[in-house]
Structure 1
Amino acid sequence: MITKMGWDANQIRRYIMEDAAIKRIHPQQFDVAHFKRAVIEAHNRYRRLHGTNDLSQDGACEIAAKRWADSVSRQSACLTHEPQQRFGESLFFYSTLQPLISDPETMAEATVRTFYIEGRDYRRSARWVASRHGHFTQMLWRDTNRIGIGVSIIPQPAGWGCMPPGRGQAWIFYVVLRYDPPGNRVISERSFDENVLPVENKDIQAVQCLAT
């Protein structure tokens, strides 16, 4: 894990910005294939902390994820889920006025950690958790065993849609993740107890994150 990244959404995005200024990778030079592998590795690292099986890459999930990433990254709404689709779904984006992005490992950890920190106030056997902890519960859902990652990296006018305010051109890094079978759709105490397991491997950082 990247210890300096922090365990807060604002800290994570600030770390990306600062790290991008150092590594100076142009968005068009970003290694998407490396990023996808790193996203799966990050998922599985967190899942192992909870005694949960690994995810494997799935072609059908990836095709669906890429199609929606290409579509939603061009929309004015920032986080729009695709309606009526059979996979579980999580979304992440990073936008910047500078044509700079961090490396695939850092962007993968930032993406997955943003989902994981939703679990800091998660309580098992609570019926209301799905709306507040959807990304966290999906990434750990035990019955889910396949994942697909779609990435869209495109320029957009500054100040439009998800872009930061300013003039000229901005860049958006948009990630769609699809999970199969989907998790957290059956809202019952038993389903969450059986599929979102407590921390088993006592990783200090993860335990501290979920305890805050």
Structure 2
Amino acid sequence: MSFTTFQQTVLERHNTLRARHSAAPLELDANLCNFAQQWANVLASKNVMQHRSNNKYGENLYASFGNANVTGNEAVDSWYNEIKYYRFGASQPSNFSQVGHFTQVVWRNSRRLGVGIAKRGTSVYVVCNYDP
């Protein structure tokens, strides 16, 4: 799968899932994609999973170890599947560590998306950044 196809797949999956929650569709942003790609490259070069410090954007990370054929849907679905832990109706989720990726995918205020992917051997790192 080409890089552009991967980005488009990630965008389309986000928008399909966001529509379930009446959230506006996201648009790919070239600057945000570059930002996400830079961090994906860092993660792959260091072979670590960690959020970027002092990040002004929302961020979701995904990694696969031993399977270099990751699809965009796999990454987005892994975040969205936290819906099973989300308590609808609560003003503030008390279990944010369990649902933070899900809420980022469907966050209504977000309008722009950046997607990056980097590989190291059979490991794959995916970074999505969200604005705002």
User: Matched residue of 2:45: which SS?
Assistant: coil
In structure 1, the partner of 2:9 is 38
Corresponding pairs, count: 130
* Cα deviation, residue 130, structure 1: 2.3
Among 88, 91, 113, which residue is 2:77 paired with?
A: 113
Among 20, 27, 47, which residue is 2:18 paired with?
A: 47
User: Higher relative contact order at CA 8 Å, sep ≥6: structure 1 or structure 2?
Assistant: 2
* Cα deviation, residue 119, structure 1: 1.1
Tell me, in whole angstroms, the C-alpha distance in 1 between the residues paired with 2:38 and 2:78: 23
> Which stretch shows the higher mean deviation, 123-132 or 145-154?
123-132
User: Structure 1, residues 151-203: CA drift from partner, whole Å, max 9, x if none?
Assistant: 11232xxxxxxxxxxxxxxx11111100000xxxxxxxxxxxxxxxxxxxxxx
Kindly indicate whether residue 128 of structure 2 is the aligned counterpart of residue 174 of structure 1: no
User: 5 Å matches for 1:1-212?
Assistant: 30-77=1-48, 79-96=49-66, 101=69, 107-124=71-88, 125=90, 126-155=92-121, 171-181=122-132
In structure 2, the partner of 1:199 is none
Tell me, in whole angstroms, the C-alpha distance in 1 between the residues paired with 2:85 and 2:118: 31
Q: Detail structure 1 runs of 4+ shifted over 2 Å in the superposition.
A: none
- Where structure 2 has 5 or more consecutive residues not aligned to the other structure, the ranges are none
Tell me, in whole angstroms, the C-alpha distance in 1 between the residues paired with 2:76 and 2:47: 24
One-letter amino acid of the structure 1 residue matched with residue 128 of structure 2: L
Q: Given that residues 51 and 59 in structure 2 are in contact (C-alpha distance below 8 angstroms), is that contact kept between their aligned partners in structure 1?
A: yes
* Cα deviation, residue 127, structure 1: 3.7
One-letter amino acid of the structure 2 residue matched with residue 58 of structure 1: D
Computed over aligned residues only, the root mean square deviation of the Cα atoms, in angstroms, reads 1.5
User: Structure 1, residues 31-56: CA drift from partner, whole Å, max 9, x if none?
Assistant: 11101000000000000111111000
* Cα deviation, residue 129, structure 1: 3.3
User: Matched residue of 1:62: which SS?
Assistant: helix
Tell me, in whole angstroms, the C-alpha distance in 2 between the residues paired with 1:154 and 1:76: 8
Tell me, in whole angstroms, the C-alpha distance in 2 between the residues paired with 1:40 and 1:76: 25
Tell me, in whole angstroms, the C-alpha distance in 1 between the residues paired with 2:12 and 2:43: 25
Larger radius of gyration, structure 1 or 2? 1
- Where structure 1 has 5 or more consecutive residues not aligned to the other structure, the ranges are 1-29, 156-170, 182-212
Superposition TM-score, scaled by structure 1 size: 0.58
**% identical equivalent positions:** 29
Superposition TM-score, scaled by structure 2 size: 0.91
